[in-house]
Amino acid sequence: MKLPTLKSSKFALRPLRDSDATSITKNANEKLVAMNMSDSFPYPYSFKDAKAFIRLRKSNKEGHISYVIEIDGLAVGVVSLHLNSDKKTYKGTFGYWLGKHYWGRGIMSDAVGMVSKWAFKSLKLKRLDAHVYLWNKGSAKVLLKNGFRKEGLLRNYVRKSGKILDVLLFSKIAK
Protein backbone atom coordinates (compact mmCIF):
# COMPACT_ATOMS: atom_id res chain seq x y z
CA MET A 1 0.00 0.00 0.00
CA LYS A 2 1.34 3.42 -0.96
CA LEU A 3 0.92 5.79 1.95
CA PRO A 4 -0.17 9.34 1.21
CA THR A 5 1.75 12.23 2.73
CA LEU A 6 -0.34 14.03 5.36
CA LYS A 7 0.50 17.67 6.14
CA SER A 8 -0.18 20.10 8.95
CA SER A 9 1.12 23.61 9.54
CA LYS A 10 3.77 22.17 11.93
CA PHE A 11 5.00 19.04 10.13
CA ALA A 12 4.45 16.41 7.45
CA LEU A 13 3.68 12.73 7.96
CA ARG A 14 5.27 10.66 5.22
CA PRO A 15 6.52 7.13 4.56
CA LEU A 16 9.92 6.11 5.90
CA ARG A 17 13.00 6.59 3.71
CA ASP A 18 16.42 4.98 3.98
CA SER A 19 17.86 8.48 4.34
CA ASP A 20 15.94 8.94 7.64
CA ALA A 21 18.33 6.68 9.56
CA THR A 22 20.65 9.42 10.84
CA SER A 23 17.83 11.66 12.05
CA ILE A 24 15.89 8.75 13.57
CA THR A 25 19.04 7.67 15.43
CA LYS A 26 19.55 11.17 16.84
CA ASN A 27 15.94 11.57 17.99
CA ALA A 28 15.33 8.00 19.22
CA ASN A 29 18.57 7.81 21.22
CA GLU A 30 17.06 9.38 24.34
CA LYS A 31 16.57 7.46 27.57
CA LEU A 32 13.21 9.17 28.20
CA VAL A 33 11.97 8.14 24.75
CA ALA A 34 13.04 4.51 25.25
CA MET A 35 11.52 4.44 28.74
CA ASN A 36 8.06 4.90 27.24
CA MET A 37 8.47 2.27 24.52
CA SER A 38 8.44 -1.53 24.58
CA ASP A 39 11.66 -3.41 25.26
CA SER A 40 12.00 -4.04 21.51
CA PHE A 41 12.92 -0.33 21.25
CA PRO A 42 16.63 -0.36 22.15
CA TYR A 43 18.58 2.09 24.25
CA PRO A 44 21.10 3.25 23.34
CA TYR A 45 19.58 3.52 19.86
CA SER A 46 22.20 3.10 17.13
CA PHE A 47 22.38 3.88 13.42
CA LYS A 48 22.23 0.12 12.84
CA ASP A 49 18.98 -0.03 14.87
CA ALA A 50 17.50 2.76 12.74
CA LYS A 51 18.44 1.01 9.48
CA ALA A 52 16.91 -2.27 10.71
CA PHE A 53 13.71 -0.48 11.82
CA ILE A 54 13.35 1.27 8.46
CA ARG A 55 13.98 -1.96 6.55
CA LEU A 56 11.44 -3.89 8.63
CA ARG A 57 8.72 -1.26 8.42
CA LYS A 58 9.20 -0.70 4.70
CA SER A 59 8.82 -4.46 4.14
CA ASN A 60 5.47 -4.35 6.01
CA LYS A 61 5.99 -7.98 7.04
CA GLU A 62 4.48 -7.36 10.46
CA GLY A 63 1.36 -5.55 9.22
CA HIS A 64 2.58 -2.11 10.29
CA ILE A 65 1.86 1.20 8.65
CA SER A 66 4.53 3.69 9.72
CA TYR A 67 4.72 7.42 9.18
CA VAL A 68 7.73 9.61 9.89
CA ILE A 69 7.05 12.96 11.52
CA GLU A 70 9.13 15.33 9.41
CA ILE A 71 10.04 18.84 10.57
CA ASP A 72 12.44 20.99 8.56
CA GLY A 73 13.46 17.96 6.50
CA LEU A 74 14.31 15.83 9.55
CA ALA A 75 12.63 12.65 10.81
CA VAL A 76 11.90 13.58 14.44
CA GLY A 77 9.47 10.80 15.36
CA VAL A 78 7.31 7.95 14.11
CA VAL A 79 3.60 7.13 14.26
CA SER A 80 2.73 3.50 13.49
CA LEU A 81 -0.42 1.45 13.27
CA HIS A 82 -0.24 -2.31 13.68
CA LEU A 83 -3.14 -3.73 11.70
CA ASN A 84 -4.76 -6.72 13.33
CA SER A 85 -4.14 -9.91 11.40
CA ASP A 86 -7.82 -10.81 11.69
CA LYS A 87 -9.15 -8.63 8.87
CA LYS A 88 -12.73 -9.14 10.05
CA THR A 89 -12.16 -7.00 13.14
CA TYR A 90 -10.94 -3.95 11.22
CA LYS A 91 -8.77 -2.60 14.01
CA GLY A 92 -5.37 -1.05 14.44
CA THR A 93 -3.09 -0.49 17.42
CA PHE A 94 -1.07 2.73 17.70
CA GLY A 95 2.57 3.01 18.58
CA TYR A 96 4.44 6.31 18.48
CA TRP A 97 7.44 8.22 19.70
CA LEU A 98 8.82 11.72 19.30
CA GLY A 99 12.30 13.10 19.91
CA LYS A 100 12.44 14.74 23.36
CA HIS A 101 13.40 18.11 21.89
CA TYR A 102 9.95 18.25 20.24
CA TRP A 103 7.82 17.35 23.27
CA GLY A 104 5.21 19.78 24.59
CA ARG A 105 4.38 21.40 21.24
CA GLY A 106 1.22 19.48 20.35
CA ILE A 107 3.02 17.67 17.54
CA MET A 108 2.13 14.13 18.61
CA SER A 109 -1.45 15.11 19.41
CA ASP A 110 -1.84 16.45 15.88
CA ALA A 111 -0.05 13.46 14.33
CA VAL A 112 -2.22 10.88 16.12
CA GLY A 113 -5.32 12.86 15.12
CA MET A 114 -4.28 12.97 11.48
CA VAL A 115 -3.43 9.26 11.30
CA SER A 116 -6.66 8.35 13.12
CA LYS A 117 -8.78 10.33 10.67
CA TRP A 118 -6.93 8.82 7.70
CA ALA A 119 -7.19 5.25 9.09
CA PHE A 120 -10.93 5.48 9.70
CA LYS A 121 -11.62 7.04 6.30
CA SER A 122 -9.12 5.35 3.98
CA LEU A 123 -8.58 1.98 5.65
CA LYS A 124 -12.19 1.71 6.85
CA LEU A 125 -11.00 0.69 10.31
CA LYS A 126 -13.67 0.47 12.99
CA ARG A 127 -11.46 0.60 16.07
CA LEU A 128 -8.12 2.10 17.05
CA ASP A 129 -6.41 1.41 20.34
CA ALA A 130 -3.19 2.08 22.23
CA HIS A 131 -1.42 0.76 25.33
CA VAL A 132 0.15 3.30 27.69
CA TYR A 133 2.48 2.75 30.65
CA LEU A 134 0.95 4.07 33.87
CA TRP A 135 3.65 6.74 34.25
CA ASN A 136 3.28 8.11 30.71
CA LYS A 137 0.81 10.95 31.36
CA GLY A 138 1.80 12.75 28.15
CA SER A 139 0.80 9.81 25.97
CA ALA A 140 -2.52 9.46 27.80
CA LYS A 141 -3.18 13.18 27.16
CA VAL A 142 -2.41 12.74 23.43
CA LEU A 143 -5.03 10.01 23.18
CA LEU A 144 -7.69 11.73 25.29
CA LYS A 145 -7.24 14.92 23.27
CA ASN A 146 -8.04 12.90 20.14
CA GLY A 147 -11.27 11.40 21.45
CA PHE A 148 -9.86 8.10 22.70
CA ARG A 149 -11.48 6.71 25.84
CA LYS A 150 -9.73 4.90 28.63
CA GLU A 151 -11.17 1.39 28.58
CA GLY A 152 -9.28 0.13 31.57
CA LEU A 153 -6.21 -1.42 33.06
CA LEU A 154 -4.51 -4.46 31.53
CA ARG A 155 -2.87 -6.12 34.53
CA ASN A 156 0.49 -7.87 34.18
CA TYR A 157 0.33 -7.17 30.46
CA VAL A 158 3.86 -6.37 29.35
CA ARG A 159 7.46 -7.08 30.29
CA LYS A 160 9.60 -3.95 30.59
CA SER A 161 13.17 -3.94 31.87
CA GLY A 162 12.72 -7.35 33.48
CA LYS A 163 9.46 -6.45 35.27
CA ILE A 164 5.89 -7.43 34.45
CA LEU A 165 3.83 -4.22 34.28
CA ASP A 166 0.27 -3.04 33.95
CA VAL A 167 -0.72 -0.74 31.08
CA LEU A 168 -3.74 1.43 30.36
CA LEU A 169 -5.87 0.58 27.33
CA PHE A 170 -7.32 3.45 25.29
CA SER A 171 -9.57 3.11 22.25
CA LYS A 172 -11.49 5.12 19.70
CA ILE A 173 -14.38 3.75 17.68
CA ALA A 174 -15.27 4.96 14.17
CA LYS A 175 -18.36 7.14 13.95
The string of pLDDT tens digits covering residues 118-150 is 999 999 999 999 999 999 999 999 999 999 999
CA distance 127 to 138: 22
**Class of domain 6-126 as given by CATH:** alpha beta
pLDDT band at 97 (very low <50, low <70, confident <90, very high): very high
Q: Domains of the chain: which residue ranges?
A: 6-126
**169 to 20, 148, 155: CA distances (angstroms):** 31, 10, 10
12-55: pLDDT as tens digits: 999 999 999 999 999 999 999 999 999 889 999 999 999 999 99
Give bridge partners of residue 77 from the DSSP assignment.
69, 98
Axis crossing angle, helix 47-59 with helix 21-28, rounded to the nearest 10: 120
Q: What is the rounded CA–CA span in Å between residue 144 and residue 135?
A: 15
For 127, residues 6+ apart whose C-beta sits below 8 A from its C-beta are 89, 90, 91, 92, 171, 172, 173, 174
Q: Half-sphere exposure of 111 toward its Cβ, with a 13 Å CA cutoff?
A: 29
